Amino acid sequence: MSTRVGTDIAEAARLLSAGGVVAMPTETVYGLAALARDADAVRRVYSIKGRPLDHPLIVHVANEEAAREWAGSWSPTADALAKRFWPGPLTLIVNRADFVPDFVTGGRPTVALRVPSHPLAIELLRRVDDGLAAPSANRFGRVSPTTAEHVRNDLGDDVDYVLDGGACDVGLESTIVDCSVDPPQILRPGGVAREDIEAVVRTLAPMSGPSRAPGMLDSHYAPNCRVVLRENDDESEPRSSGATRALDASVDPSSFARDMYAHLRNADSDGIETLVITLPAPHGIGLAIRDRLRKAAAQR
């Protein structure tokens, strides 16, 4: 029987509480959700995605109070960022509480927490009354899903239910800020701009270091086609032909971000061999677009 797609929050909550795996919408991308304390359900998430077991997962919670329960300590930085940007596309890494299992954190002493802003995600979290581990609902390393149809195309019958919340408003993943270090460090640019975070915390460590959060690998978000990137000041004219398609992310970066993963998927479905994309300026949402596209274009 094919996976059901619908808007039945009660059914999605029932399946999760029974140890199931449900694709849920967020404002960023669709997540592959399981109860974060259920070892068997979380292992199934890793298996469906083909994700390495030492890669930590983001725990989604309904509000800041719930996030504090998962934290062993809650720094002034975490407090300020949560109050400014939650609910929303920001993930905070904090020292974990004693009960938080290794299978969620990749064995690390920290846990990644987020309060999403999508109304269906918030209602689902309220109904299950617990944290949901929810990486993007696609195979590991591939293009993230921003519609229910993307999830069904990627995962088929491997997921128990797809909660359809329409197309994602932001269209790319959350910004990840490590609040367990001082000064705090952005590990992954995303839906909250670096400039807005700096307005709250003032000082940030450089974005560098080994992979220790989702999306930090060199190759990620990858379509089957070849992705070629060009800067906005490149005066050569990008060529479009039957096997090559040109896109410009510099004109309206916010709009491009919402559609970016759909563009990558459409290139594959349309048989495009090479996708040439003009990059936006490296500020605001443009920084996150550049990050995702550089990983999509990386050698693999």
Q: List the domain boundaries for the chain.
A: 4-201, 226-297
Q: How many angstroms separate the CA atoms of 170 and 83, rounded?
A: 20
Quote the pLDDT of residue 210: 60
Beta bridge partners of 110: 95
CB 28 within 8 A of CB 147: no
Average pLDDT over residues 113-132: 98
Quote the pLDDT of residue 202: 84
The one-letter code for the residue type at 192 is V
CB 132 within 8 A of CB 114: no
Average pLDDT over residues 142-163: 96
Average pLDDT over residues 128-137: 98
Contacts of 252 (CB under 8 A, 6+ apart): none
Residue 128 has pLDDT above 80, yes or no: yes
Quote the pLDDT of residue 269: 95
Q: How confident is the model at residue 1 (pLDDT cuts 50, 70, 90)?
A: very low
Q: How confident is the model at residue 104 (pLDDT cuts 50, 70, 90)?
A: very high
Q: Give the model confidence (pLDDT) of 245-297 as tens digits.
A: 999 999 999 999 999 999 999 999 999 999 999 999 999 999 999 999 999 99
Average pLDDT over residues 36-63: 96
- Strands (DSSP E) contained in 142-290 are 161-163, 175-178, 185-188, 226-230, 244-248, 274-278
Average pLDDT over residues 59-63: 98
Query: Residue-wise over 21-59: b if at least 16 C-beta within 10 A, else e?
Result: bbbbbbbbbbbbbbbbbbeebbebbbebbebeeebbbbb
Residues 65-70: contacts with CB within 8 Å, 24+ apart?
Answer: 66/115, 66/125, 66/131, 67/92, 67/113, 67/115, 69/97, 70/96, 70/97, 70/100, 70/111, 70/113, 70/131
The one-letter code for the residue type at 182 is D
Residue 219 has pLDDT above 80, yes or no: no
Is the pLDDT higher at 189 or at 220?
189
Question: In Å, what is the CA distance from 260 to each residue of 29, 275, 279, 284?
Answer: 11, 12, 12, 16
Q: How many angstroms separate the CA atoms of 188 and 112, rounded?
A: 12
Q: CATH homologous superfamily of domain 4-201? A: DHBP synthase (3.90.870.10)
CB 279 within 8 A of CB 231: yes
Q: CA nearest 218: which of 275, 284, 297?
A: 297
Quote the pLDDT of residue 237: 67
Per DSSP bridges, beta strands 58-60 and 110-114 are parallel
Residue 218 has pLDDT above 80, yes or no: no
Q: What is the pLDDT of the chain when averaged over all its residues?
A: 93
Q: How many angstroms separate the CA atoms of 91 and 174, rounded?
A: 6
Quote the pLDDT of residue 232: 85
CB 181 within 8 A of CB 24: no
